[in-house]
Each structure stands twice: as C-alpha cells, then as structure tokens.
Amino acid sequence: MTQRSTSADDIRKLYFIEKWHTLRGIMLTRDQYHWQQCRVILTGGRYYPRSAIVHHKQTHKGAMTLFYETDNLESVFWSCHSGAIQSAFVCMKIFDETRP
C-alpha cells in the first residue's frame, strides 16, 4: 500500500472540518442538487453512481482561498468525480441512463 505524503494527509483533513461541510451544503443547494453540465438530479448515498459530490474545478493543492472559492466549486456525480471527472463518455453514459 502506498503511503500518502504529509501534505496530502493535511489536504485530505480539510474535507472533514465543519466549514467544508457547511460550504458543501451551500453549493449543493445553490446548484439545486443538479449536475450543472447536464442538469440531471444528484441523489443517493455515497456509492450510488448519481450521488452528489462538490468538485473543485481548479486543483487547490491546499491553497485555502481556492479551496473555499465558490466559483471554483461545482456539483457533480460521484461516479464522474471518482475518476477525477473521468471521461465525458462515462458521465454521458450515466446521463443517458437517467433520462426519462
């Protein structure tokens, strides 16, 4: 198993503080629990393909102003985010499967 660097562990801890959880809720509310690129509703639990994730558009690398910058945040599918916003193909496949 590879070990994370100290800085990676420090960055990961940012996602467990109250300020982030509050901002995450604000961003999901702002985006009305929709993925902004296709307007599909984000739902489900943590491992459900359409569960809601708040993504940093630009990598923050621990820069606090960029970490909390609302213009740098967007709501996305868990399955698209889990592969660093994988490929458009994967995200569009989920979109096609969720269309009425």
pLDDT tens for the chain, 100 residues long, are 455 455 888 888 999 999 999 999 999 999 998 887 777 788 766 666 677 889 888 888 888 999 999 999 998 877 666 665 544 444 555 445 544 5
Read off the amino acid at residue 75. Answer: S
Let me know if residue 21 belongs to a domain: yes
The range of the structural domain enclosing residue 94 comes to 6-98
Distance CA 23, CA 68 (A): 8
Let me know if residue 1 belongs to a domain: no
For the chain, how many structural domains are there in total?
1
The whole model's pTM is what?
A: 0.71
Distance CA 2, CA 19 (A): 29
Let me know if residue 41 belongs to a domain: yes
Token pair recorded at residue 66: 């960029």
